Structure 1
Amino acid sequence: MALYRRYRPETFAEVIGQSHVTEPLRHALANNRVNHAYLFSGPRGCGKTTSARILARALNCEQAPVADPCGECKSCRDLARGGPGSIDVIEIDAASHGGVDDARDLRERAFFSPVESRYKVYIIDEAHMVSSQGFNALLKLVEEPPPHLKFIFATTEPEKVIGTIRSRTHHYPFRLVPPKVLSTYLEDLCRTEGVALEPTALPLVVRAGGGSVRDTLSVLDQLISGATDDGVSYALAAGLLGYTPDSLLDEVIDAFAAGDGAAVFAAVDKVVETGQDPRRFAEDLLQRLRDLVIVAHVPDALAKGLLEIPGDRAERVENEASRFGKADLTRAAEVVSDGLTELRGATAPRLLLELICARILLPGSDATPDGIQARLDRIERRLSIAEQAPPPAAAAPDPAPAGRGASEVTPPAGRGGSEASDRDPAPAPAGRGGSEVTPPAGRGGSEASDRDPAPAPAGRGGSEATPPAGRGASEASDRDPAPAAGTPGVADVRRVWPDVLDAVRQQRRFTWVMLSQNAQVHSVEGSTVTVGLVNAGARDSFARSGSDKVLIAALVEVLGGTWKVEAIVDPSAAGGSGSGGSGSRGAQPTSPPEPERPAANPGAGGAAAGGPASAAPAGGPPPESPDPSPPFEPDVPAGASDAARPPSSARASADAIAAARASIRAERGADAAYDPDSHADADDPAMDSDGLSHEELLSRTLGAQVIGEVPHE
């Protein structure tokens, strides 16, 4: 016998989840205030017909009036679970006997007295299927029945029962059973049956039943039938019921949190390739997002019992919720909810599921308030990464002489340079080629000036740096220029990589072109970021030009902390321009530099190399540039102190650069008044031409080969 039949309640006390109905009925029976007609309504499988049978047993019990049938008299035994039934209790299925002829036949037989019991009880199931003519035929009988007659109508759609019938009944609405009540009931039932049920499988059974006791018991019966000696496992329940495994949902949620589109679409492909229903996957994803939304708004939701999640899954859900913002989670849930409507009856469900995932990954394309708030959430999460770092370490007490080759370098002072001046108790040596660099001061630097007692001398170089001063320098100084214990992982760095490239662009255009076209984040280990470049030429150019220092400064500005950069060859790092071989031909950017940077040598990075504009050859004023825009000077902002300016010794190669560029202008027929040196940064290692021709400069810097030239107009 099926579980739902074997465990059908025999008293109102055994009916679960319907106390709002059973308690009033028990009181009415005990007080002998019973009506002649009842209407039980509610979803399927919630106890309507069962309660009607219990009511009929209580009415005909020999000990009546009583709240619950005794279970010992003949009437109670006949109507008990598995009993033969009673001739005085008639059940009619209105789905097949709802016509006017059936109603007339019932009316004729209803006037006969009961054979053995006190009342003749008619239980009319699926009452909404009775036709209007059938209800009209019963109307007079239901309105004024003989004393021995009782009616109990059971229906899932009470609004279809005509009003004249409803008005003559006592209406009791049944409800779906709450998940907590149903879970406790199933646990007790499994103990009675001697079947082991994994805690992680129980929520799946309850969810499959949808609050219907009968449907839930049917699902559990099927799982018990197919279970091994170990009982009902999570894998069995998930596979048989068609739910998405938690491991796959965890994978998708982690990918959304990291903004990793490749992992998201790989999960979608896995869903389709394993034969799962895309709509079911979307439903499971929405359920998981619902759990995360609740945890994000109510941190102790699991302790309060708002979520039915086993203990071993609770920590995982809390960690996932902490990686999103509230608005980001809410927007993702709304996107999936709207997509479920589109998936209903779709001819290309995989395509629609991928579009849903794409909309979640791109809040920037959403101009609604929810999309804007989601972007703000992501910015706040990036800032919180640095806020978890410890306070900056104290600097060395004794200053070292300035010069090249120093092991630690403090940045040049610039806009708001008072931040760095108060941060370190003693100045550090300035120079190039050092192993650690503290960032130059920038706008908003007055915030750090309250913390650091002494200014630091200017200098450049080094493989480690704190953020350069510039836009948002005060935020970087507040976050932490010192190494942090909770260093972001590769997913975090990839997520903020566009912001890092923006910061690089503001400092040096040459480095920005190289990274945006020919590089990608390969891995992150501790505080070391490994960058993969498309070929050996690009990697060597990256190292020789000092671009690693620019990238370090940008990482510190965006993420805080102290970073190291390593460059490797990774052919898959080619950007929109593709990648060259490993020989002398490197990847070239697809678009030229912006108009304000008319550098003749693209390998040298033009005027974006950092530092002030170079002067013209000695003995005369600099020639006018045809470009009316001001020179690009990201490394030494306007208003910087003299200490921030490059030393005169660093301009020793300016004459060689000017000679090489004069040769280029002569070949191209350039106007004599055009002098790119007015935009050059003599302190940029990438600009050291050593008297080479422009073809040699391109080959040495970018690994390029000149195959032709267009005359300059």
Structure 2
Amino acid sequence: MESPLALYRRYRPETFAEVIGQEHVTEPLRAALANNRVNHAYLFSGPRGCGKTTSARILARALNCEQAPIADPCGECESCRDLARGGPGSIDVIEIDAASHGGVDDARDLREKAFFAPVRSRYKVYIIDEAHMVTTQGFNALLKLVEEPPPHLRFIFATTEPDKVLPTIRSRTHHYPFRLIPPRLLSAYLSELCAKEGVTIDPAALPLVVRAGAGSARDTLSVLDQLLGGAGPAGVTYELATGLLGYTPDTLLDDVVEAFAGGDGAAVFGVVDKVIETGQDPRRFTEDLLRRLRDLVIVAAVPDAPATGLIDVSEDQGERLVAQAARFGPAELSRAADIVASGLTEMRGATAPRLLLELLCARVLLPGSDNAANGALARLDRLEKRMSISGGAPTPTVAAPSPPAQDRPAPIADRPSAPDPAKPVLEPQVVAAPAEPAPVAEPAPAVEPVEPPAAAAPPEPAPEPVAAAPSGELTLVDVRRLWPDIVDATKGMRRLAWMHLTQNCQVVAVDGSTLTLGFANAGARDSFVSGGCDDVLRQAAVDVVGASWKIDTIVDPSAQAEGTPTVTKAATTPAPAVPEAPAVSAAPATTEAPAPWEADPADTPAPEATGAASAAAREAIQQTRSADQPPEQRGPDWATADADAHPDDLDAEHQGVSAAELLQRELGAQMIEEIPHQ
């Protein structure tokens, strides 16, 4: 059994109506044939495989049809049957390949035979293919014949380079330029052919076949013929097309684009490694990546481009492109495309294409290293995208509640220059050894409790924001992009929380209004929660991204920092038990008195007495203030407020442990040297 003809030969058009994508040529030719206004010489030019030679044969059939003048050959007469698809051919229609018969001797031979009348047809037609290959001497030999041919003679020149045809010859012909076939039209044509062949084809594979054909009908049908030959029971699948044609799968392109959007360098270089490990060409991957970025640039400018057919992709892929383009800014996409395009040019002839691919990926990931205008615009795009993700500045309804004015220590800049009578209340030497219980002073009018606004009400457990929390829109990738800014915000609020977040934990998941953190060990997790660091983190998230998360903590050994830090610090003796300090006046001291650690060094007693007495004094102050204030106006206790203002100095005292125990429990560090306190 003989093998069937190639697909492009089996489905070669036989009439002008069957020629696709060349209506600007076929319609004028059909009108000229119907009106019997046919010229003696034609020049068909255009890219390869777009229908030049096929149209020349159809024109020859129409000229010699028994029903001429007619727009399309009838297909029934002897001449039409001879020139039909698979026919024996006609003795009066001569095809010459100028690539091998373009010399002056061939032109002289043609000129001698051209004067003989046709044998059975009305016209003797010469179809000269690859006419640009005819030499100058050959064209000169044909010039007089083409200019004034006999009545029975017609010339049709076909070429891909009309500029190389002798101008004197070109000026004596009717020139019809052919074009590449539009992708959408070619996709529909391929679907029809697959239906005729009885083979199913994946809609996602059609754009790949069209892309491989590059607008040429013949090349596209050759590619489709190859896929049809290798198709299994499932037909032409997307996997088969990508494997045989060598294109990068969409999954890899999706992964690398998502990694670029999230600034995830590990994922980007993981994709590059997968490209190399699977044997794909880095140049082809770069070309496919550039094409994907081009699609994203178009989608960013025209969101409905996939639906309107502006870009030829399947429906599900169009949805992915819209989602990916929304995560970039126009300037950031344009800059990434410029970098990839430059890298693709550098890869031509390069001996280490993988190295160049990794370098261009690094440049895409680091817009901050680009001081040009494109880099600045890319950074601006990222800032705008962050604002759109976080919903702008946090609203007052989700801001952290502030304690009343009398519960917060006054800033240094607000202290009066003159001595305050209430100042000795918190001085270390007075608190350490009070002579007698001090009477409870009446609160000053300036610090009377004021009804706080609704936004600054005392905190309730796990408050819910009034407005819709933008955190519902944040993905894990978005949170990891914004995580460094959130952690930096905690450093100024409570240093212990910052130390935990930078050394002992990592973001595990984000789901709606819950943020899950994984800690290296149970001790670090318990210390984070018991120290109120989760509230600090929640407030930092509100300040940075405007999201009020519920902080959930788990033990995740993978969050353990590499290595165990070795800490050298002055030895601290645990404070001995001191009898409860008497009640003292709290109102003036909380607004005007400086903190114990900022007192004059000459007047500061030993650290042991100071730490114990300060703790006792704070407890007495809190008890007095709590007794005097109604429940709805009681702010956070003094120890919490003081620790938030000075987290470095009061953590050990607040938790009642020594510095060595604190370092061992929180950081897993071991004290190796003790330096006596100076």
TM interval, short-chain normalised: 0.7 to 0.9
Aligned to 1:287: 291
> Does residue 686 in structure 1 map to residue 672 in structure 2?
no
Task: Give 1:458 shift.
Answer: 6.6
Task: Give 1:534 shift.
Answer: 4.7
Aligned to 1:217: 221
> Does residue 500 in structure 1 map to residue 486 in structure 2?
yes
> Does residue 59 in structure 1 map to residue 63 in structure 2?
yes
- Separation of aligned partners in 1, 2:130 and 2:98: 5
Aligned to 2:541: 555
Task: Give 1:4 shift.
Answer: 0.7
Task: Give 1:646 shift.
Answer: 9.5
> Does residue 512 in structure 1 map to residue 510 in structure 2?
no
Within-5 A mapping of 1:262-301: 262-301=266-305
Deviations 1:16-39 (A, max 9, x none): 100101111111222222222211
- CA distance 1:132–1:378, change in 2 (3 Å): same
Residue of 184, 193, 209 corresponding to 1:180: 184
Within-5 A mapping of 1:341-360: 341-360=345-364
Task: Give 1:559 shift.
Answer: 1.9
Task: Give 1:535 shift.
Answer: 5.2
Q: Is the 8 A contact 1:524 1:530 kept in 2?
A: yes
Aligned to 2:614: none
Task: Give 1:647 shift.
Answer: 8.6
Indicate the SS of the match to 1:335. helix
- CA distance 1:162–1:688, change in 2 (3 Å): farther
Residue of 379, 385, 395 corresponding to 1:381: 385
- The one-letter code of the counterpart of 2:247 is Y
Task: Give 1:280 shift.
Answer: 2.1
Indicate the SS of the match to 2:190. helix
Within-5 A mapping of 1:389-408: none
Is there any run of 5+ residues in structure 2 with no aligned partner, and where? 409-451, 573-591, 605-624
> Does residue 366 in structure 1 map to residue 370 in structure 2?
yes
Indicate the SS of the match to 1:496. helix
Q: Is the 8 A contact 1:601 1:697 kept in 2?
A: no
Within-5 A mapping of 1:185-584: 185-387=189-391, 410-412=401-403, 454=454, 456=456, 483=469, 486-534=472-520, 538-539=524-525, 541-543=527-529, 545-568=531-554, 570=556, 572-573=558-559, 578-580=562-564
- The one-letter code of the counterpart of 1:686 is D
- Separation of aligned partners in 1, 2:185 and 2:74: 26
> Does residue 163 in structure 1 map to residue 167 in structure 2?
yes
Task: Give 1:370 shift.
Answer: 2.6
Q: Is the 8 A contact 2:394 2:542 kept in 1?
A: no
Indicate the SS of the match to 2:267. helix
Deviations 1:482-514 (A, max 9, x none): 756725232111111122133223334454355
Aligned to 2:87: 83
Count of residue correspondences: 584
Indicate the SS of the match to 2:175. strand
Q: Is the 8 A contact 1:331 1:374 kept in 2?
A: yes
- CA distance 1:49–1:455, change in 2 (3 Å): closer
- CA distance 1:496–1:103, change in 2 (3 Å): same
Task: Give 1:140 shift.
Answer: 2.6
- Separation of aligned partners in 2, 1:483 and 1:21: 60
Within-5 A mapping of 1:127-146: 127-146=131-150
Q: Is the 8 A contact 1:504 1:511 kept in 2?
A: yes
Which structure exhibits the higher relative contact order, with contacts defined as CA atoms closer than 8 Å and separated by 6 or more residues?
Answer: 2
Aligned to 1:614: 595
Aligned to 1:429: none
> Does residue 103 in structure 1 map to residue 89 in structure 2?
no
Residue of 681, 703, 707 corresponding to 2:668: 703
Deviations 1:46-99 (A, max 9, x none): 000001111111222222222222222222221111111111211111111222
- CA distance 1:363–1:465, change in 2 (3 Å): farther
Indicate the SS of the match to 2:515. strand
- Higher mean alpha-carbon deviation, 509-518 vs 490-499, is at 509-518
Residue of 101, 115, 120 corresponding to 2:124: 120
Task: Give 1:653 shift.
Answer: 10
Q: Is the 8 A contact 1:121 1:151 kept in 2?
A: yes
- CA distance 1:481–1:696, change in 2 (3 Å): farther
- Separation of aligned partners in 2, 1:647 and 1:562: 20
- The one-letter code of the counterpart of 2:17 is A
Deviations 1:612-648 (A, max 9, x none): 972358798989xxxxxxxxxxxxxxxxxx9999999
- CA distance 1:455–1:34, change in 2 (3 Å): closer
Q: Is the 8 A contact 1:119 1:150 kept in 2?
A: yes
Deviations 1:323-349 (A, max 9, x none): 222322333233222222222232222
- Separation of aligned partners in 2, 1:250 and 1:110: 62
Q: Is the 8 A contact 2:571 2:675 kept in 1?
A: no
Task: Give 1:154 shift.
Answer: 0.8
Q: Is the 8 A contact 1:49 1:125 kept in 2?
A: yes
- CA distance 1:93–1:690, change in 2 (3 Å): closer
- CA distance 1:224–1:357, change in 2 (3 Å): same
TM-score by length of 1: 0.73
Q: Is the 8 A contact 1:522 1:530 kept in 2?
A: yes
Q: Is the 8 A contact 1:464 1:552 kept in 2?
A: no
- Higher mean alpha-carbon deviation, 278-287 vs 147-156, is at 278-287
Indicate the SS of the match to 2:172. coil
- CA distance 1:612–1:44, change in 2 (3 Å): farther
- The one-letter code of the counterpart of 2:671 is V
Indicate the SS of the match to 1:500. helix
- CA distance 1:125–1:394, change in 2 (3 Å): closer
Q: Is the 8 A contact 1:94 1:129 kept in 2?
A: yes
- Higher mean alpha-carbon deviation, 364-373 vs 516-525, is at 516-525
Indicate the SS of the match to 1:257. helix
Aligned to 2:436: none
Indicate the SS of the match to 1:486. helix
- Separation of aligned partners in 1, 2:603 and 2:39: 107
- CA distance 1:653–1:98, change in 2 (3 Å): closer
- Separation of aligned partners in 2, 1:239 and 1:652: 64
- CA distance 1:24–1:529, change in 2 (3 Å): same
- Separation of aligned partners in 1, 2:320 and 2:642: 59
Aligned to 1:49: 53
Indicate the SS of the match to 1:240. helix
- The one-letter code of the counterpart of 1:706 is M
Q: Which has the larger radius of gyration?
A: 2
Deviations 1:419-448 (A, max 9, x none): xxxxxxxxxxxxxxxxxxxxxxxxxxxxxx
- Separation of aligned partners in 1, 2:98 and 2:641: 103
Q: Is the 8 A contact 1:93 1:126 kept in 2?
A: yes
Task: Give 1:290 shift.
Answer: 2.6
Q: Is the 8 A contact 2:391 2:545 kept in 1?
A: no
